[in-house]
């Protein structure tokens, strides 16, 4: 590994101090003169026609300034996947019909939140109730209510992959297993609820501050749904308190209603969702039913896979059509399948729309896959880790879904995590007390580092970064990349600092403001480090080349023989022949009539699927109460190949966060519905693990030097989630002999299983 100054260092994030001192301003912290407060009226019914809306009483309430309904909108449908009109199935305010409890029906702007909420109660909506369907199987049956005219049998999206001939190969396998897994409805639980502040100027230009992962798409979709040129809309992402995929839909009704109300009242309007609204009406993870069939040789070599998945999509598309694809493709990581078949079906139901959530289809299928491989290993008397080693994708391989593996540290991850934990000894020396059982389990993962495609038609690069070097020696960096807490601002600053030999504090970053920063598609698909990172790298290299040339001219040296280090540009090997970066920039300006040194770098994925893939192997150790079924996660050992960790602290933060989220997904989190109504819309009822539930975590960085990543870096933020839940499920099985194929693995289910085992 090369020696770097800034890259690979455990540096505090550039915004860390502002965040921990409460100085960082989130959307709800912003205030504009004469600002009003907005609130959204939501449907109380899962499926109904809207016969009429009477706002007259509400409008009479003192302090109410405006109420908008679909009648006040251009009634244009949107959908983040706007390349296909059939995925644009949703109005930002319901037109004539509502399809889930919580759907947006009207919005109010008032002098304060109390008045706005009171006004909501005074709006009278006359509904004509329609038969609702909540179960994806029922929804496909003849006679079921049809949610959308364009989707017979309520099939929102189907997707099929076939490679080789699994059916035939199964016959040749030594062992074939078919299991059925189900996963629950889960939600992101980001700390900051969605919020938007909209303001219009008098020339008809709109500015929206919003808690989003995708300012570029918000700009485009607001333009679409408001029937105006997106160029006249400026979208600014302030600090964002998490997204995890829940703020990546390109538009939410929050932004739309804030903009519409602000236009109506000609005053700024801020709209902030309550936690209740987040739990009942925001995007969430698809509940799924997965039938997985895998055939192997008796030595554990995987020969074939066939998988059928049903995704309960909820009432609208959101990013679900993509989830339907990814549940097929993501299970082709990190293992080889020569014969592979996937059939995925996403079904409309009268529940809140499901979309992207960290891992985006991966956690569901990886839970199924690793649990099944664990069972197969047991069936064959093999060590599941050895079996994983045998089947792992290596550098140069191509997965069954066509993912080209340009660097893989998967085998090393397995070896590392086995050594870290004493895997083999612990598997053998299984411990059990009178009332407690101890177990250890493995989970594996692999994940793309960004998608190579676009959701919409655009001629813009995936990411562009512009750098301007100033006479004071600092550089101003402009990126559209959206830091939502994952640390992309810091990564971009580190890359630029490394290239230019500057300390982090000399990098002045402006990010995620559609009027100031060049287009970037947003934060999703674990794309930012590679896409925006490479764009930053390209821009910084162009700046460096110009600075080197200026210094070379001055020192009569060869520009190819220079280094940038410690705020100086020096001739390699001759530290006395050097000039400060500041002076070098000023030399450049002098030679260019004072024109500032500006460069831009763009990046597009060289592969339409993804430029490269991360890998990981996680081992979980659990303690299960045989009396109560309660699971305590004792320890997680993670070995993750994210190429070159640009900032190990950030990588570890992502892994720790994924483990926390994985624990919730595996054993405690779940949205419970009754007739389309969320029964537990609060942190108290939903079950996100609290800090005291976090286990000891040991992280090993498996370093590969990826040819596509900036400084060899790959993703960490999503791939690290995939192995967590199956590692826990397998550890619980290892401890108790109870195999639960239905997430979450609650104490109740374990106890029931223990009873079935004769305890």
> Could you tell me the two tokens for 693?
């539930």
Longest dimension (CA), the chain: 86
Closest CA to 467 of 601, 635, 279: 601
State the Cα torsion 139-140-144-146 to the nearest 10°.
80
**Least distance in angstroms from the C-beta of 476 to its own copies:** 6
**Least distance in angstroms from the C-beta of 119 to its own copies:** 25
Q: Which is nearer to its own copies, 420 or 471 (CB)?
A: 471
Closest CA to 448 of 706, 743, 159: 706
Q: Which residue has the tokens 């491989």?
A: 373
Residue 291, φ and ψ in degrees, nearest 5: -105, 115
As a whole number of angstroms, the distance between CA 181 and CA 250 comes to 31
- Please measure the distance between the N-terminal and C-terminal CA atoms of the chain and give it in whole angstroms: 53
**Least distance in angstroms from the C-beta of 562 to its own copies:** 21
Region of residue 227 (left: phi > 0; alpha: psi -120 to 50; beta: else)? left
> Could you tell me the two tokens for 608?
């339409």
As a whole number of angstroms, the distance between CA 313 and CA 346 comes to 6
As a whole number of angstroms, the distance between CA 534 and CA 442 comes to 33
As a whole number of angstroms, the distance between CA 375 and CA 729 comes to 11
Q: Which residue has the tokens 């929050």?
A: 254
Beta bridge partner(s), residue 180:
291
As a whole number of angstroms, the distance between CA 151 and CA 132 comes to 16
Q: Which residue has the tokens 């998490």?
A: 242
**Least distance in angstroms from the C-beta of 457 to its own copies:** 9
As a whole number of angstroms, the distance between CA 288 and CA 742 comes to 10
**106 neighbors 68 (Cβ within 8 angstroms):** yes
Region of residue 676 (left: phi > 0; alpha: psi -120 to 50; beta: else)? left
Kindly give, in sequence order, each residue whose CB lies less than 8 Å from that of residue 400, ignoring residues fewer than 6 positions away. 161, 163, 305, 332, 336, 337, 338, 340
Q: Under the rule (CB under 8 A), what is the footprint of its own copies?
A: 14, 17-18, 21, 23, 25, 29, 31-33, 201-205, 223, 229-232, 234, 266, 458-462, 464, 466, 468, 470-474, 476, 505-506, 508, 510, 515-516, 518-519, 586, 589-590, 592-596, 598, 600, 602, 604
Closest CA to 104 of 195, 55, 40: 40
**Least distance in angstroms from the C-beta of 508 to its own copies:** 6
| For the chain, counts of helices (H) and of strands (E) | 20, 28
**Least distance in angstroms from the C-beta of 429 to its own copies:** 49
Cα–Cα distances (Å) from 358 to 50, 237, 306, 484, in that order, read: 35, 20, 24, 13
Kindly give, in sequence order, each residue whose CB lies less than 8 Å from that of residue 467, ignoring residues fewer than 6 positions away. 475, 476, 477, 478, 496, 536, 539, 540, 542, 543, 598, 599, 600, 601
Rg (CA), the chain: 27
Q: Which is nearer to its own copies, 85 or 606 (CB)?
A: 606
**Least distance in angstroms from the C-beta of 208 to its own copies:** 15
328 upstream amide cis, omega within 30 of 0: no
Give the 3-state secondary structure of residue 689.
coil
Q: Which is nearer to its own copies, 487 or 616 (CB)?
A: 487
> Cβ of 716: how many Cβ atoms within 10 Å?
30
**493 neighbors 533 (Cβ within 8 angstroms):** no
> Could you tell me the two tokens for 304?
């074939």
As a whole number of angstroms, the distance between CA 588 and CA 547 comes to 7
**Least distance in angstroms from the C-beta of 13 to its own copies:** 10
Beta bridge partner(s), residue 200:
206
Q: Which residue has the tokens 């896959």?
A: 369
Kindly give, in sequence order, each residue whose CB lies less than 8 Å from that of residue 362, ignoring residues fewer than 6 positions away. 326, 330, 445, 447, 718, 719, 721, 722
**In the 8-state DSSP scheme, what is residue 501?**
T
As a whole number of angstroms, the distance between CA 123 and CA 49 comes to 16
As a whole number of angstroms, the distance between CA 90 and CA 79 comes to 6
**755 neighbors 736 (Cβ within 8 angstroms):** no
**Least distance in angstroms from the C-beta of 233 to its own copies:** 9
**262 neighbors 199 (Cβ within 8 angstroms):** yes
């Amino acid at each position: 590994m090369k020696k770097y100054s800034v890259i690979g260092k455990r540096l505090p994030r550039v915004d860390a101090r502002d965040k921990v001192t409460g100085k960082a301003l989130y959307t709800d912290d912003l205030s504009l003169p004469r600002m009003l407060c907005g609130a959204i009226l939501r449907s109380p019914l899962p499926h109904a026609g809207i016969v009429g809306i009477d706002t007259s009483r509400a409008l009479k309430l003192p302090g109410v300034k405006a109420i908008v309904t679909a009648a006040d909108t251009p009634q244009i449908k949107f959908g983040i996947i706007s390349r296909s009109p059939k995925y644009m199935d949703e109005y930002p305010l319901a037109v004539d019909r509502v399809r889930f409890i919580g759907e947006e029906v009207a919005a109010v702007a008032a002098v304060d939140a109390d008045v706005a909420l009171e006004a909501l109660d005074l709006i009278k909506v006359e509904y004509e109730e329609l038969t609702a369907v909540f179960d994806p199987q029922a929804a496909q049956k003849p006679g079921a209510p049809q949610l959308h005219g364009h989707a017979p049998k309520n099939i929102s999206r189907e997707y099929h992959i076939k490679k080789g001939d699994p059916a035939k190969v199964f016959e040749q396998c030594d062992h074939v297993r078919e299991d059925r897994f189900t996963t629950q409805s889960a939600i992101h639980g980001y700390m900051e609820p969605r919020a938007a502040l909209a303001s219009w100027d008098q020339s008809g230009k709109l500015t929206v501050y919003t808690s989003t992962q995708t300012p570029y798409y918000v700009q485009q979709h607001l333009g679409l749904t408001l029937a105006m040129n997106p160029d006249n809309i400026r979208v600014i992402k302030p600090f964002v308190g998490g997204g995890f995929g829940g703020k990546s839909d390109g538009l939410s009704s929050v932004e739309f209603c804030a903009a519409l109300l602000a236009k109506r009242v000609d005053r700024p309007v801020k709209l902030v969702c309550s936690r209740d609204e987040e739990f009942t009406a925001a995007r969430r993870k698809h509940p799924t039913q997965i039938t997985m069939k895998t055939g192997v040789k008796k030595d554990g070599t995987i020969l074939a896979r066939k998988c059928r998945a049903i995704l309960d999509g909820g009432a609208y598309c959101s990013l679900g059509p993509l989830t339907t694809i990814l549940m097929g493709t993501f299970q082709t990581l990190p293992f080889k399948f020569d014969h592979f078949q996937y059939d995925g079906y996403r079904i409309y139901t009268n529940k809140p729309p499901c979309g992207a959530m960290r891992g985006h289809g991966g956690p569901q299928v990886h839970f199924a896959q690793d649990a099944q491989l664990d069972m197969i290993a047991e069936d064959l008397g093999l060590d599941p880790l050895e079996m994983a080693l045998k089947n792992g994708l290596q550098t140069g391989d191509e997965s069954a879904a066509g993912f080209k593996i340009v660097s893989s540290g998967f085998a090393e991850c397995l070896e590392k995590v086995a050594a870290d934990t004493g895997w083999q000894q612990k598997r053998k020396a299984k411990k059990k007390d009178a009332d407690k059982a101890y177990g250890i389990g493995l989970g594996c993962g692999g994940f793309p580092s960004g998608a190579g495609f676009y959701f919409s038609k655009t001629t813009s690069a995936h990411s562009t970064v512009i750098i301007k070097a100033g006479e004071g020696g600092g550089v101003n960096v402009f990126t559209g990349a959206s830091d939502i807490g994952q640390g992309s601002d810091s990564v971009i600053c580190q890359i630029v600092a490394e290239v230019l030999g500057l300390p982090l504090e000399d990098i002045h970053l402006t990010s995620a403001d559609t009027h100031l920063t060049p287009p970037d598609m947003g934060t999703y698909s674990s794309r930012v480090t590679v896409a925006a990172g490479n764009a930053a790298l390209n821009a910084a290299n162009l700046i460096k080349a110009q600075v080197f040339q200026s210094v070379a001219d001055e020192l009569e040296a060869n520009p190819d023989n220079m280094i940038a280090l410690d705020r100086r540009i020096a001739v390699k090997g001759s530290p006395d022949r050097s000039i400060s970066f500041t002076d070098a920039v000023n030399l450049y300006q002098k030679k260019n009539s004072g024109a500032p040194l500006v460069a831009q770098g763009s990046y597009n994925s060289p592969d339409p699927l993804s430029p490269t893939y991360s890998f990981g192997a996680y081992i979980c150790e659990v303690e299960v109460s045989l009396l109560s079924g309660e699971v305590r996660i004792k320890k997680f050992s993670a070995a993750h190949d994210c190429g070159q960790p640009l900032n190990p602290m950030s990588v570890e933060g992502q892994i720790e966060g994924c483990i926390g989220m994985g624990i919730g997904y595996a054993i405690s989190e779940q949205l419970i519905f009754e007739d389309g109504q969320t029964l537990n819309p609060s942190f108290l009822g939903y079950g996100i693990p609290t800090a005291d539930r976090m286990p000891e975590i040991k992280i090993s960085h498996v370093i590969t030097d990826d040819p596509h990543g900036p400084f060899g870096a790959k993703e960490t933020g999503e791939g690290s989630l995939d192995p967590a839940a199956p590692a826990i499920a397998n550890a619980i099985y290892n401890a108790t002999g109870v195999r639960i194929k239905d997430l979450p693995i609650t104490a109740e289910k374990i106890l029931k299983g223990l009873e079935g085992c004769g305890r």
